[in-house]
Structure 1
Amino acid sequence: MSSPAVLSRRDFTVGGLLLAAGLAAAACGGPPGSPAADRTLRIGQYWPPTSLDPAKAGGESQFFLQPAYDPLIYRAADGSYQPRLATAWRYLGTGNTAFEITLRDGVTFSDGTPLTAEGLKASIEHFRRSAGQAAAFLAPIATMTVPGPLVLRLALHQPHPLLPSLFTQDFLAGDVISPAGAASPAGLATGTAGAGPYVLLPGETVANDHYTYGPNPKYWNPAGRFYDKITVKVLPNENTALAALKTGQVDVVAGSYAIAGGARAAGFAIASSPAIVMGLQLNDRAGTLCPPLADVRVRQALNFAVDRAKITTALLGEYGIPVDQPSAPGEDGFLEQPFYGHDPGKARQLLAAAGHAGGFALPVVIPSTPAFPGDLAQAIASDLQQVGVTLRITAKDPASANTELTRFPASSMGWGVLPAYFMGRGLWLKDAIGMNPFRSSDPELESLDRRAAAADDAARPALDRQIIRRVVELGWFLPVCLSPGLLFYRDTVGVDPVPGQPFPSVASWHPAARA
């Protein structure tokens, strides 16, 4: 079967053979042999979902949402974009300020209502009203019009170059909610109202413990459903999760490098995906709480002081990648050449030039959660101490750590890998949501962002690299390592990961043929 990677993410249309092609693609993803006798997929997941409402959920809810919600556009394992609930999408004109989506005909939600452009409009409006991670990325939409029963047009008040990406399963906004669900959002927190291959079974579900999904009898593409049932078990202790995998209680576990050795020794398959850039955020860039941070030379000195390779190897072993930038290999903005080598001598020179040869104290708040290991903060502190900077670490529960960012000049950095456009709106633009607590601004960075947002696909990668380079030069962050997402699974499951790419959707996993 030929690769769809040549399809443009910007403008995609399909003809009358779409449904047949979609069914063939589903068949290509299925097991090469006859299905296994046990048609239940059992998944272990560290975090319970924050909500089952896609508009309010976070990234940790993906495994709980993907079985029940088909996205508009499907990001395949190889990174290509493929039709799902949308059969065509395109930008209108130039400048990325108008976008059109054409929907698949004949799709019915699990509650029996048909998929229409008016229903999609209601779903997007629900996302915009909610406080979830997708709301900020939908903010540029000014108006939505319906020129036909299956066509929705978006007019934007500012350029948005990545709407096709936003409407995939990766950003949740692509998970279309039925009109009835959007009209009664309270029920979405504990139920499902999608057009995906499965539906949540409330009678077989216990919140925060396990979630069970059965077939959606109204699913438009039953050939693309590979299991009779999916269960997602919350297993907050990784050693317990590994034990459950060994005893066959679960087939797949999402975990960390802490159990990678044990999983490998037990003979399980391991899939790795670049997931989170970890380090510190130097939030107080004007020196309000910590005056030395107002000088770019000081922020750069902190970056030169850290031995990223040593820390990454010690904490993550073969699964980590040292990085000095908030990007990752494969992203358009990624810089191939490091900007900051490990150079304590240069760090001391910069500190002395800035008037801080004697060093200074830097308070930092980190969350008390395995998601940000205390060992990382301690390792950074050890390197900074070598150049005279004392890192004063305060650990708080995650909720407090996130709400008290304006009380600390620095905080933990644990940001999912995203294109530069999305990261800007979360991390470094003046109006960035949540992670720019002191509202820092840089005219050059803001100008580059505006140019990149309006650029076409050919021009944007170079602008993205300029954006990332400017962020790195400013020293607003102290990235250390790219921490992987890891899946450990039995040989009965076909996950089909692609190295360097995010994991395929749970809905595409299938029984594996066994010799």
Structure 2
Amino acid sequence: MSSAAVLSRREFTVGGLLLATGLAAAACGGPSGSPAVGRTLRIGQFWPPTSLDPGKAGGESQFFLQPAYDPLIYRSADGSYQPRLATAWRYLGTGNTEFEITLRDGVTFVDGSPLTADGLKASIEHFRRSAGQAAAFLAPIATMTPRGRLVLRLKLNQPHPLLPSLFTQDFLAGDVISPAGVAAPAELATRSAGAGPYVLLPGETVAGDHYTYGPNPKYWNPAGRFYDKITIKVLPNENTALAALKTAQVDVVAGSYAIAGGAKAAGFKVASSPAIVMGLQLNDRAGTLSPPLADVRVRQALNYAVDRAKITSALLGEYGVPVDQPSAPGEDGYSEQPFYTHDPGKARQLLAAAGVGGGFALPVVVPSTPAFPGELVQAIASDLQQVGVTLRITAKEPAAANSSLTQFPASSMGWGVLPAYFMGRGLWLRDAIGMNPFHSSDPELESLDRRAAAADEHSRPALDKQIVRRVVELGWFLPVCLSPGLLFYRDTVGVDPVPGKPFPSIASWHPAG
């Protein structure tokens, strides 16, 4: 899974962009007061980190990075941006091609070195060199110029309207690494080099099993640290994780809808956050492998054929949201008005008009992983069969499935909830990273994207809505449901989630009351 954990929830996997883990956004902090003494926060997490180097990490690593790395800007639980290591930020001029960051004075990293504009430049350069999720979104930066000790100015070779979002914990690029850490990147796999409230304790950590964090004595805001210790235990079996919660071995578990009922019945608090848009991608839009897909009427017919409400209710119950668009409630591009109602009759009419009224077979590749449940694929297949389209499903190990996208006209879809600008670069523009394997292009869509990238924050939402509408009209995707990120926790912990928003950062969780 994952929310900004979880984009959160946001790792490239077959058929979609997971830049989220259900924990993608962080809060601006917990309640005020003195640091907790003698208190330990114990967390159970399904995935181990791909890396403890923020520059190489993916969305599932956010749990393990949030305690040790303060970002430049905090995206709070209500979605607002709050100062953190940066006290101010702004675009210069118009067109979103020049950006300036002013750093907080007096901040030191865990190794004692000061936070400076030169150090921030080195940290961003490390992200750009690395293969993590943030690297592609930093590509438009052409030059970085320190202007004094605490101000860094970025010039871009193309418009980028969401640099403030990029420099939050959502995308990891805001997690500033110390100059010493950047100079010895191999050590970042076993030691933290941030300016966050905690520091990884290597002597109390076993990679792939458990990770332990203690107070960072150099932290600039000790009143914003609420525990003496944080431990994160990797629990790859959800039932085992729920048992650990029941026996008080852990205080919080990140899990899926599969154990939501059991957690709720046991009296634990349950928080959900819209995290991943799930369904199918119709990648072969030119009909190279599947000629019927070249006709937009066929792709639209497949969308009309699926009963999203029924599938979502059966699979996700009260925690799922049916969606027919590559967006989610709360995002600027989202439309409250559905585009595709469940209408098998209309689907058959469109197929007949396209010359495939007798039906056709559609090969699709899906990963053999719980992150994309087989029940969803089978439910989609059942609905499509009713209009004469037969899914031929091939399940492969995730890496193999991802590398074979050009061999199948369709694939699974699992996208972290993201703004349209980021989704375009990951999913539907001509050079989208990995998830547009046939390099499909639409002149209207590309033009709308260019206009939105250069637009100010007041006019961009309307353009984002046009972008999403165009993607839906093209029928390049068959989204079905919005799968949630879920947290299950004891009443001794204050998580402070905001309904419909990504979860707060671990660093802001606090003892209840």
TM-score, normalised to structure 2's length?
0.94
SS in 2 for 1:480: strand
What is the aligned partner in structure 1 of residue 304 from structure 2?
304
Aligned positions of 1:140-155 closer than 5 A: 140-155=140-155
CA distance in 2, matches of 1:161, 1:249: 44
For structure 1, the 5+ residue unaligned runs are 1-25
Q: Deviations over 1:114-152 (max 9, x none)?
A: 100000000000111111111111011010001111000
Aligned positions of 1:20-31 closer than 5 A: 30=30
Q: Once the 2 structures are TM-superposed, how far is the Cα of residue 404 of structure 1 from its aligned partner?
A: 1.0
Number of aligned residue pairs: 488
Is the contact made by 1:30 and 1:511 (CA closer than 8 Å) also made in structure 2? no
What is the aligned partner in structure 1 of residue 349 from structure 2?
349
SS in 2 for 1:143: strand
Structure 2 residue 501 is matched with structure 1 residue 501: yes
Sequence identity (%): 89
Is the contact made by 2:36 and 2:227 (CA closer than 8 Å) also made in structure 1? no
CA distance in 2, matches of 1:472, 1:77: 29
CA distance in 2, matches of 1:118, 1:228: 32
Matched to 1:171, the amino acid is F
Is the contact made by 1:31 and 1:512 (CA closer than 8 Å) also made in structure 2? no
What is the aligned partner in structure 1 of residue 254 from structure 2?
254
Q: Once the 2 structures are TM-superposed, how far is the Cα of residue 216 of structure 1 from its aligned partner?
A: 0.6
What is the aligned partner in structure 1 of residue 62 from structure 2?
62
Aligned positions of 1:160-199 closer than 5 A: 160-199=160-199
Q: Once the 2 structures are TM-superposed, how far is the Cα of residue 190 of structure 1 from its aligned partner?
A: 2.3
CA distance in 1, matches of 2:314, 2:425: 32
Q: Indicate how the Cα distance of structure 1 residues 302 and 28 shifts in structure 2: closer, same or farther if over 3 A, else same.
A: closer
What is the aligned partner in structure 2 of residue 237 from structure 1?
237
What is the aligned partner in structure 1 of residue 491 from structure 2?
491
Q: Deviations over 1:154-192 (max 9, x none)?
A: 000100000000000111000000111111111112221
The answer to which structure, 1 or 2, has the higher relative contact order (CA under 8 A, 6+ apart) is 2
CA distance in 1, matches of 2:320, 2:275: 10
SS in 2 for 1:69: coil
What is the aligned partner in structure 1 of residue 267 from structure 2?
267
Q: Once the 2 structures are TM-superposed, how far is the Cα of residue 487 of structure 1 from its aligned partner?
A: 0.3
CA distance in 2, matches of 1:294, 1:131: 34
Is the contact made by 1:127 and 1:173 (CA closer than 8 Å) also made in structure 2? yes
What is the aligned partner in structure 2 of residue 119 from structure 1?
119
Is the contact made by 2:134 and 2:173 (CA closer than 8 Å) also made in structure 1? yes
Is the contact made by 1:32 and 1:512 (CA closer than 8 Å) also made in structure 2? no
Is the contact made by 1:297 and 1:354 (CA closer than 8 Å) also made in structure 2? yes
Q: Deviations over 1:168-227 (max 9, x none)?
A: 011100000011111111111222110000111011001110000011110010000000
TM-score, normalised to structure 1's length?
0.93
Q: Once the 2 structures are TM-superposed, how far is the Cα of residue 495 of structure 1 from its aligned partner?
A: 0.2
Is the contact made by 1:27 and 1:223 (CA closer than 8 Å) also made in structure 2? no
Q: Once the 2 structures are TM-superposed, how far is the Cα of residue 32 of structure 1 from its aligned partner?
A: 8.2
Q: Once the 2 structures are TM-superposed, how far is the Cα of residue 37 of structure 1 from its aligned partner?
A: 7.0
What is the aligned partner in structure 1 of residue 314 from structure 2?
314
Q: Once the 2 structures are TM-superposed, how far is the Cα of residue 38 of structure 1 from its aligned partner?
A: 5.1
CA distance in 2, matches of 1:489, 1:416: 23
Please provide the CA RMSD for this pair.
1.5
Matched to 1:447, the amino acid is S
For structure 2, the 5+ residue unaligned runs are 1-25
Is the contact made by 2:42 and 2:249 (CA closer than 8 Å) also made in structure 1? yes
CA distance in 1, matches of 2:133, 2:500: 24
The structure 1 segments of at least 4 consecutive aligned residues displaced by more than 2 Å after TM superposition are: 26-38
Q: Deviations over 1:253-304 (max 9, x none)?
A: 0000000000000000011100000000111111111111111000000000
Is the contact made by 1:35 and 1:511 (CA closer than 8 Å) also made in structure 2? no
CA distance in 2, matches of 1:217, 1:31: 20
Aligned positions of 1:40-439 closer than 5 A: 40-439=40-439
CA distance in 2, matches of 1:36, 1:212: 16
Q: Once the 2 structures are TM-superposed, how far is the Cα of residue 464 of structure 1 from its aligned partner?
A: 0.2
CA distance in 2, matches of 1:279, 1:28: 33
Matched to 2:173, the amino acid is A
